[in-house]
Amino acid sequence: MNLNEFRGKFQELRNNGFVPSLRKGPTGIGYTFESLLGLDENNLALPDIENVEIKAHRDNSNSMITLFTFNRRVWQIDPLKAIREYGSFDVNGRLRMYYTMSLTPNSAGLFLNINEREISIQHISGEVIATWQLEALAERFIQKIPALLFISAQTEERAGREYFYFYRAQLMKGTTPELLSDLFNIGDLLVNLRLHDKGTRARNHGTGFRTYEDRLPLLFNRITDI
């Protein structure tokens, strides 16, 4: 399927108005959209747009999603040392740093600090835990999501079944360090630490960069209605 074929199929789907969900639960919207367009689930191949991803979004949803992970050469202190100084115990007694970081210090005294070139996780004492260059984050984002088809849908419930009206498709590409910085500053882009103490080393599940579904368009600098 190329872009023109997609445009035609989407127009047909939009003209159909509300359609019933083909699967219950949160994944119903994506599964229904891709099924009705004849696409394989979680796979869209448009020959003139490499690695396009589809994200079907309910207008009333503000759930969070992980955009990408990035850990390479960012830690300014040993991660195991960081866990033992600033971690907390889970219900099983495991020491860990599972924190969603923002500009406001958390219970461990950790917070995000942002300047024009980088963001960092710092402690209120002044100690810098990890640092990411905004340019590197923008490159990682484009590598992970070079293009996104963002599908907006209204929803309603009829006799206990969810229905979707897919009314808008937007092709989104590109980002800049400035866009990312703006979203960090207003709290729409967050850093999710996910590591724990393994005894002799830190087990890192990948630092996630997360945003809200309805904020996704703010991450891109080129948006075209399809």
Q: Residue 47: is it exposed, middle or buried by C-beta count within 10 angstroms (0-12/13-18/19+)? A: exposed
Counting other chains too, the contacts that 19-24 makes at CB distance below 8 Å and 24 or more residues apart are: 19/163, 19/164, 19/165, 19/166, 20/158, 20/161, 20/162, 20/163, 21/161, 21/162, 21/163, 21/164, 24/162
Query: Per-residue pLDDT tens for 103-148?
Result: 999 999 999 999 989 999 999 999 999 999 999 999 999 988 989 9
Residue 199: partners with Cβ closer than 8 Å, 6 or more residues away: none
Mean pLDDT of 25-53: 75
Predicted model pTM = 0.85
pLDDT tops 50 at residue 48: no
pLDDT at 4: 83
Identify the pLDDT of residue 220.
95
Chain-centroid distance of CA 211 in Å reads 5
Q: Would you place residue 39 in the very low, low, confident or very high pLDDT band (cuts 50, 70, 90)?
A: confident
pLDDT at 41: 57
Look at strands 147-158 and 52-58 and give their pairing: parallel
